[in-house]
Structure 1
Amino acid sequence: MTLSEKTWVGIGLAGQFFFTMRFVVQWIATERKRRSVIPESFWYFSIFGSLILLVYSLYRKDPVFILGQAFGSTVYVRNLFFIHKEKKDAAA
């Protein structure tokens, strides 16, 4: 017996939800401290990887990966904002 396509999409969405929650937890921690709590290079790799995967997922027309990669990019850019703000404030 095989699972239906809708069931697999549901499984994929559930997996994406749990994967995304690690970024939500990190994002909340960063917002509370008003600075990034992860090294800067992590965010650059995350942005580039996320954009590449978003393009791939659009090509594949995969709603699970499209949703996950689109949300993640927002978090990555926000953390880079805090890093650059902190550097600017420290230089002043």
Structure 2
Amino acid sequence: MADAITNWLHSVFIAQFDAWVVLGFFAQACFTMRFVLQWLASERAKRSVVPVTFWFFSLFGGTLLFVYAIVRKDPVFIAGQGLGLIVYIRNLWLIANEKKAMTQDT
């Protein structure tokens, strides 16, 4: 049993380690940062807050994860990240329109 676990760990984390895995981990770290930023912003405000940087980290990390999923040929991951990108872009678009409207009103 221990040999099977050791072999599995080696095949997953060592044998297939390449530049794409490095990109995947970097992308996941960027994607995770959005939660850290959202949490910190909410703690500072003492209410739930979604800062603009949340959407930029979502877009950046999601795009890198989408590329990673395409290279790895993972249809579930491709669909999930691809659809998420639409949401991130739309939220950034809405924020930009809101800021534009605010500057026109003043």
Identity %: 54
- Residue 67 of structure 1 deviates from its aligned partner by 0.5
Match of 2:57 in 1: 45
Correspondence 1:75 to 2:87? yes
Query: What SS does the aligned partner of 2:69 have?
Result: helix
Q: Runs of 5+ in structure 1 lacking a partner?
A: 1-36
Normalising by structure 1, what TM-score? 0.58
In structure 1, C-alpha distance between the alignment counterparts of 2:50 and 2:101, rounded to whole Å: 18
Larger gyration radius, structure 1 or structure 2: 2
Normalising by structure 2, what TM-score? 0.51
Higher relative contact order (CA 8 A, sep 6+): 1
Q: Runs of 5+ in structure 2 lacking a partner?
A: 1-48
In structure 2, C-alpha distance between the alignment counterparts of 1:83 and 1:40, rounded to whole Å: 8
Total equivalences in the alignment: 56
